[in-house]
Amino acid sequence: MPRKKAETAVIDRTGYDEHMRDIVVSEVLTENYMPYAMSVIKSRALPEIDGFKPAHRKLLYTMYQMKLFDKKTKCANIVGQTMQYNPHGDSSIYETLVRLTEDNESLLTPLISSKGNFGKHYSRDMAYAAYRYTEAGFTKIAAELFEGINKNAVDMADNFDATKKEPVLLPTSFPNILAMPTLGIAVGMASNIASFNLKELCEATIEYIKDPKTDILDIMPGPDFSTGGDILFDRDEMDKIYRTGKGSIVVRSKYTVDKKNRRIEIREIPYSTTTEAIIENVISLCKSKRIMDIDDIRDDTDKNGLLITIEYKRSADPDEIMNKLYSLTPLQDTFSCNFTMLINNNPVVLGVYGILDEWIKFRTECIKRELTYDLEIFRKKLHLMEGLQKILLNIDKAIKIIRGTKLDKDVIPNLMKGFDIDKTQAEYITEIRLRNINEEWILDRTKEIEKIKEDIKKNETIISSDKALKKQIIKKLKEIANKEDYIKPRKTTINTEVKVEKVTVIEEVKNYDVKIIISEHGYVKKVPTSTYKEDTEYKLKDDDRILKIIDAQNIGEVLTFTDKGVVYKTKISDIEVCKAGEFGTFIRSAAEIPDDEKTVFITATGDFSGNMIVVFENGKVAKFPLNVYETKQNRKKLINAFYTNVKPVAFYHVLEDVNIKMKSDGGKLLIFNSEMINLKNSKTTQGTQVMKLPKETKILKSRIIEELDKKSSKIVVKSIPASGFSRKK
């Protein structure tokens, strides 16, 4: 049968005018949104191999042109000058400047020396002063960002209005991309690059250049953050970050304890959090009673640096408090590495090894261009000196030519003819002062020619040798690594002893008496004893009914037994308080019980007191303490919870011995007291024979007898096992 042709939708064009046209949405997105996305990725959000985003680079180049290496100027002046390269507004430029300063403490290796209030990276609410009040200039290491920039080391491009030139990249003489922490959010991608200690970084780069197989983790064991802290070192994870650029680093705060004043003093925190976030989290925990050993917490940060003070109760253990806070607050936080950057205008994710490879290529090219620039200068100078040398060999002839020339304009052509030199050489010679034509000056110029030839040969040799170029990189890195003005001790320590998975916390739960109401269909209602009323009618589903009401505590647990011999444990504190008009918590869902297991019994306990009694269909009864289900590891599932080779008929959780009635399918009845059953310590005990049963006879049902009346007293047995009593017709 032939397939029907798809019907073309008819578009109602009522109200259209001649200027309107139909367009495809996907085409509009491609034409308009994609250029915007690529602009954000390439021109705003992601750093390049020099470690800078365009906003950073434009600001620093402006300061370079202002020659702020040994002086400071008002930040308002810097911001105004930078707008010649960055027209995005003064506030964004100033924010960029603030982050690069020493006083803000964002960078491990600050590039801008500052004077005034620049806020703090670790404080969300500590605002920086307006740029009319603050001053800034370069730190000493900033000079290393521009080495060779005036020797064509990098390409220059037009600024936004083509009135000035600015560098496409800065020729950084060390891997600044790994020395400067960078966070960038682009369209569809993001970047989060950690900072590394400058000395370790330079030494690791040197060794990597010498031997690409070097394990730089042995030299540079991990990032180093300006806020300090303690890295919980995982070598496998760190190696993954170094090779792929993705992974997580767990950083925890450092603290000291003032036992005399019962204070915990925190002076170093993870780079990814703030003092306000930490304090707010701790206050929230205290209000919810999850932590009850803290009296006060405050921010005592001052001119001496960051300080969070926690005052604890007399009976509390400060180390235990911090262990809990590490798990529940940003005092222990994760730095998620995502080393995304631009290489040749394309976004890529690189590990530390990959970044060093790209930086070495970049730096090699910078040095080659710088040496090529010098080489051209040397060659031009040699050309002039060779012309001068010809003159100096017969200076009298030169004087005679000059004196014999009638017109000034003919001096240069006559010298060119007389000594076989070109115009450039002749012009240089005519500019020499007469007093310089002495023996000493002539000898110095002759020596200079030899020196220039040596320099040319040296530069040509280095340019043509990749090995020699890398030696130049190593030489500079060694200089940086040994300069006291540049190098600072590692702030973030590497902790190889504490593992993240070993940090365990038992959360404090508010305890109070509760009533646990259990329905036949397995719904559990938690009602605080203080609000419980016996005459309250609780909402139930059709054909459901309340089986029992148990007194328990909020720190207790609900135990759900299944026909597979498994007990599932649910914390009562995890069960929501139930109102009269609610069904409550479906315990199978809360305990995550599989569909192929059938619920056979539910109970609740606050302290695991009392005993479990299990009646089996073979006439045996098992009795064992409920505390066999108590575990220190907070396990939620316990297998082999009772004997399963014989089908259980009934389960009872009793706090004291009770009378239990049993009935067999052969019509026999008896009542026995559970005191007659020996208490076993094993939950899988087969039990004690209570009723003797003929072959192919089994117990049908069982129940607890609250009070013995005259009739039921007649079937009470004095000893076990017993045959039971026949039921009268």
Per-residue pLDDT tens for 22-71? 778 877 777 777 777 777 777 778 999 999 999 999 999 999 999 999 99
- Domain hosting 322: range is 254-330
Report yes or no on 359 lying in a domain. no
CATH of the domain at 292: 3.30.1360.40
Q: Which amino acid, one-letter code, is at 353?
A: Y
500-545 pLDDT, tens digit per residue, is 654 444 555 678 888 888 888 889 998 888 888 877 788 888 888 8
Mean pLDDT for 336-362 is 95
Domain boundary at 130, 152, 172, which? 172
What is the tally of helices (H) and strands (E) in the chain?
17, 33
Report yes or no on 197 lying in a domain. no
Q: What is the pLDDT of residue 679?
A: 92
615-663 pLDDT, tens digit per residue, is 999 999 999 999 999 887 778 889 999 999 999 999 999 999 999 999 9
The answer, yes or no, to whether residue 358 has pLDDT greater than 60, is yes
Report yes or no on 6 lying in a domain. no
Q: Taking a C-beta distance cutoff of 8 angstroms, is the pair 523, 549 a contact? A: no
**In terms of domains, do 406 and 323 share one?**
no
pLDDT classification of 1: cutoffs 50, 70, 90:
very low
Q: What is the pLDDT of residue 201?
A: 97
- Residues 6 or more apart whose CB falls under 8 angstroms from that of 26 comprise none
Q: What is the pLDDT of residue 497?
A: 84
Report yes or no on 142 lying in a domain. yes
Report yes or no on 349 lying in a domain. no
**In terms of domains, do 446 and 394 share one?**
yes
Q: Which helix (H) or strand (E) holds 11?
A: none
Span of 115-129, 421-435, 470-484 with lowest mean pLDDT: 421-435
Q: How many CB atoms lie within 10 A of CB 674?
A: 19
Report yes or no on 492 lying in a domain. no
**In terms of domains, do 397 and 314 share one?**
no
The answer, yes or no, to whether residue 10 has pLDDT greater than 80, is no
Domain boundary at 427, 461, 481, which? 481
DSSP string for 186-219:
-SS-EEEEPP--HHHHHHHHHHHHH-TT--GGGT
**In terms of domains, do 416 and 317 share one?**
no
Q: What is the pLDDT of residue 729?
A: 40
237-281 pLDDT, tens digit per residue, is 999 999 999 999 999 999 999 999 999 999 999 999 999 999 999
Residue 116: C-alpha distances to residues 127, 131, 450 (Å): 12, 9, 53
Q: What is the pLDDT of residue 503?
A: 44
**In terms of domains, do 532 and 659 share one?**
yes
**In terms of domains, do 431 and 540 share one?**
no
Report yes or no on 98 lying in a domain. yes
**In terms of domains, do 144 and 278 share one?**
no
> What 8-state DSSP symbol labels residue 655?
S
**In terms of domains, do 144 and 78 share one?**
yes
Q: What are the backbone dihedrals phi and psi of residue 516, each rounded to the nearest 5 degrees, phi first? A: -105, 115
Q: Taking a C-beta distance cutoff of 8 angstroms, is the pair 274, 123 a contact? A: yes
Domain boundary at 330, 357, 392, which? 330
CATH of the domain at 415: 1.10.268.10
Q: What are the backbone dihedrals phi and psi of residue 433, each rounded to the nearest 5 degrees, phi first? A: -75, 150
The SS3 assignment for 32 reads helix
Q: What is the pLDDT of residue 500?
A: 61
Four-CA torsion 580, 583, 587, 589, nearest 10 degrees: -140
- Both tokens of 124, joined, read 């969300």
CATH of the domain at 76: 3.90.199.10
Q: How many CB atoms lie within 10 A of CB 296?
A: 11
- Residues 6 or more apart whose CB falls under 8 angstroms from that of 463 comprise 368, 371, 372, 375, 469
State the residue for tokens 């959000």: 45
The answer, yes or no, to whether residue 14 has pLDDT greater than 60, is yes
**In terms of domains, do 435 and 519 share one?**
no
Q: Which amino acid, one-letter code, is at 314?
A: R
Work out whether the CA dihedral 706, 707, 709, 713 comes out positive or negative. positive
Which member of 133, 326, 512, 568 is catalytic?
Answer: 133
Q: What is the pLDDT of residue 322?
A: 94
Q: Output the average pLDDT for the chain.
A: 89
**In terms of domains, do 420 and 544 share one?**
no
The answer, yes or no, to whether residue 444 has pLDDT greater than 90, is no
pLDDT classification of 317: cutoffs 50, 70, 90:
very high
With 0-12 / 13-18 / 19 or more C-beta atoms within 10 angstroms meaning exposed / middle / buried, residue 346 is exposed
**In terms of domains, do 86 and 127 share one?**
yes
CATH of the domain at 710: 2.120.10.90
Helix, strand and coil content of the chain, in percent to the nearest 5, comes to 35, 25, 40
Query: How much is the pTM?
Result: 0.69
Whether residue 133 lies in the annotated active site: yes
Q: Say how many domains are in the chain.
A: 4
557-600 pLDDT, tens digit per residue, is 999 999 999 999 998 888 888 887 788 889 888 888 998 999 99
**In terms of domains, do 615 and 688 share one?**
yes
Report yes or no on 698 lying in a domain. yes
674-693 pLDDT, tens digit per residue, is 999 999 999 999 999 999 98
